[in-house]
Amino acid sequence: MSKEKFEEALEKLETIVRRMEAGEMTMEESLKAFEEGIKLARFCTKKLDEADRRVDLLLRQEGEMTTKPFAGEAREPEQ
């Protein structure tokens, strides 16, 4: 679904890890960061585990744009 959120989450996670590695956090901060980091990592893993995709064909019919599932290889040969 929200792959933009995936990227955001991954970036956030990276930032958190870098900040934690810099070791400039207080105990409380690092605990908080850790918790959030683990949450983000779980979220990202979940996103990575998604398997389904939609492949659609964009069609223009009487000026209106519609989509229909792409049925795979069409018969017409490439020109």
| 67 within 8 A of 57, measured Cβ to Cβ | yes
C-alpha to C-alpha distance for 1 and 72, rounded to whole angstroms? 23
The size of the interface with another protein (CB under 8 A), counted in residues, is 47
Query: Does 46 interact with another protein (rule: CB under 8 A)?
Result: no
Measured between alpha carbons, how far is residue 9 from residues 5, 23, 45, 58, 73 in Å?
Answer: 6, 21, 11, 30, 36
Q: How far is the CB of 1 from another protein (least distance, A)?
A: 8
Query: Does 79 interact with another protein (rule: CB under 8 A)?
Result: yes
* Footprint on this chain of another protein (rule: CB under 8 A): 1-4, 6-7, 10, 13-14, 16-17, 20-21, 23, 25, 27, 30-31, 34, 37-38, 41, 44-45, 47-48, 50-60, 65, 67, 70, 73-79
